[in-house]
Structure 1
């Protein structure tokens, strides 16, 4: 069923849920404690296969391709709901599989989905492990640890900032290294992990990156004009708009107010270029570096302090009765579970067994 070859020990199936038919990879005993793995943007669940196989005995790994990615039935993302389409899909999947409570592991965009899942159904989560997650305030367009928007229309976030040529090459299934600034393979090997690391399953992971559905109602998504720098505000469709703080920022107070507060593990690479306080994929950083002209300055639009925002929210979470641990891996980029699997798995397995 999977269009990408599976590692031995991984199986896959199509699961019909009330919302859509979801492609799910799985491993481990069917009676094991469930662990739900949520992949990042420009990828799919194939990225989790080694981590799934490394789970201790007694655990069941479930890794779906999110809506808009991989082999899951395509339906458009309503970005005005933030990450709630994905969360509703995942809860519908777990209901269909008769799974009431489960551990969750989310990477990058999958970490952003986790924030909304934590705000929506914390009573169903046994634990939450965040691998290089997006900020709980969304991606782009905010300027302090409390997620204050730079502009009232959230200009500087959303799909309008996606490199159109990179998206075109994704849609064309381009596996070359030609014109490296927009080559999906080069982008993956430069930013997903810290060079010179190259994964053993590079071809399968590149297939996962290329599995995102490039079409007008998904990726890169729509945009609207803005009077504010850089002249683009978020639209209504696709994953990059769904990550805008315009649509996801309400999760934080719901997380803090919830009675249920599962333990949280936050694992990140010290050299992450995608999610950081100076992200090379964020318009404030690019403006400050002079890559994008017209930057209005640090008072109006500083680089988004993504890590500081996450840490501040987790500190407030702990003060409200929850617990968290932050683990920073040296010589590591945006994908700690692939770059340093032994350290990542040690921390994850400790969380699962606690």
Structure 2
């Protein structure tokens, strides 16, 4: 019921785990790497979120969407957070190997943006498209230069998840009965106000595929003497992005630098310089009591950190294009599909080929370009 016309799913056995992928019916499995686009979803979602984009991309591309471990129909093996997101990126690499692909154009959304950055540090990639990506310094607990606020990453990781939200994921709640229901979180966090769709049930069902078993979402936590009283754990999804374990700023130093497209919305509630999912920002707003102040617990400037790292990447010889979409939230590919599609096709070098389709009527807003 959640697969769109022309989209099929199948399980791939790899040397790490069994992985579910979505493909388009009719795509050429022998398509070369430079005509292959691999889509990696973010946290509390799955490959189902990519289906509109998959339908809209040109038919002479091969398009694959992968479910990360513990999401969608991929095996729910535990996540070792002390490796950062390498469990996820190594799974993606194993999947591509099983499909006979040495490399591809990689698209990563949110946490998936961190996954594809880590992938590019460890393996060759033809290009990276980062959609509303997690900061190269992780989620929470850092200053603009990436330095950590506390030795235990207080306020970060699995201990920060709302237990009612976790329970509603476990229960596969499809209602909007509470602010913590997946549907309500989708409306308030994943997209900007005003977004409407006939596919909301599919997006919520995708969120509800998140495994809440031990070692998956959200992960464990530990007591901390630092505000707000908890610190990062060592297993599970949220702990993969704490600054102790996650740092993809090293992408600046890789020798073979794939061209990068960074697409983000100005109204993103999750990844921003004032994120509503950052405990320090919520403390500053008075939502979480006892905030110790700006000097001790400043909000993480996530977008500024990404811009700094990508500017360093450009200075080191990389090719970077930034696309900022005014009034768009955390999901540009849903909220401005024609603009996202156009920017992606330009980045992978598709536009300009003899078979290039007519460009969309919407124009993209380039904040900066190489």
Please report the TM-score for the alignment, with normalisation by the length of structure 1: 0.95
Aligned partners of 1:229 and 1:199: how far apart in 2?
40
| Corresponding position of 1:218 | 216
Select between 209-218 and 26-35 the one with higher mean Cα deviation: 26-35
| Corresponding position of 1:318 | 314
Q: Deviations over 1:10-61 (max 9, x none)?
A: 1111000000000000123223321110001110000001111222232111
| Corresponding position of 1:281 | 277
Shift of 1:196: 2.0
Aligned partners of 1:320 and 1:18: how far apart in 2?
35
Q: What pairs up with 1:198-209 in 2 under 5 angstroms?
A: 198-209=196-207
Shift of 1:105: 0.4
Aligned partners of 1:297 and 1:44: how far apart in 2?
37
| Corresponding position of 2:246 | 248
Q: What pairs up with 1:7-46 in 2 under 5 angstroms?
A: 7-27=4-24, 28-32=27-31, 33-46=35-48
Q: Given the alignment of the two structures, is residue 303 of structure 1 paired with residue 299 of structure 2, yes or no? A: yes
Q: Secondary structure at the match of 1:94?
A: helix
| Corresponding position of 1:133 | 133
| Corresponding position of 1:54 | 56
Please report the TM-score for the alignment, with normalisation by the length of structure 2: 0.91
Aligned partners of 2:317 and 2:166: how far apart in 1?
42
Contact residue 56 and residue 349 of structure 1 kept, 8 A: no
Q: Given the alignment of the two structures, is residue 151 of structure 1 paired with residue 147 of structure 2, yes or no? A: no
Select between 53-62 and 95-104 the one with higher mean Cα deviation: 53-62
Structure 2: stretches of 5+ with no match in the other structure: 351-370
Aligned partners of 2:2 and 2:223: how far apart in 1?
42
Contact residue 158 and residue 235 of structure 1 kept, 8 A: yes
Q: Deviations over 1:100-139 (max 9, x none)?
A: 1200001001111122112111xx2111001100101000
| Corresponding position of 1:160 | 159
List 4+ stretches of structure 1 deviating above 3 A: none
Cα RMSD of the aligned pairs, angstroms, is 1.1
Aligned partners of 2:218 and 2:5: how far apart in 1?
34
Q: Deviations over 1:271-312 (max 9, x none)?
A: 001000000000111010011111111111111000000000
Q: Secondary structure at the match of 1:37?
A: strand
Shift of 1:64: 1.0
Q: Secondary structure at the match of 1:86?
A: helix
Q: Given the alignment of the two structures, is residue 174 of structure 1 paired with residue 202 of structure 2, yes or no? A: no
State the aligned residue count. 345
Shift of 1:82: 0.5
Aligned partners of 1:345 and 1:220: how far apart in 2?
31
Aligned partners of 2:54 and 2:294: how far apart in 1?
42
Aligned partners of 1:328 and 1:257: how far apart in 2?
25
Q: Secondary structure at the match of 1:228?
A: coil
Q: Deviations over 1:43-85 (max 9, x none)?
A: 0000001111222232111111100101011101001111000
Q: Given the alignment of the two structures, is residue 66 of structure 1 paired with residue 68 of structure 2, yes or no? A: yes
Shift of 1:220: 2.0
Aligned partners of 1:235 and 1:243: how far apart in 2?
11
Shift of 1:237: 1.2
| Corresponding position of 2:100 | 98
Q: Deviations over 1:245-281 (max 9, x none)?
A: 11012x312x122111000000011100100000000
Shift of 1:213: 0.4
Q: Given the alignment of the two structures, is residue 292 of structure 1 paired with residue 294 of structure 2, yes or no? A: no
| Corresponding position of 2:186 | 188
Contact residue 189 and residue 198 of structure 1 kept, 8 A: no
Which of 233, 237, 244 matches 2:235? 237
Shift of 1:199: 2.3
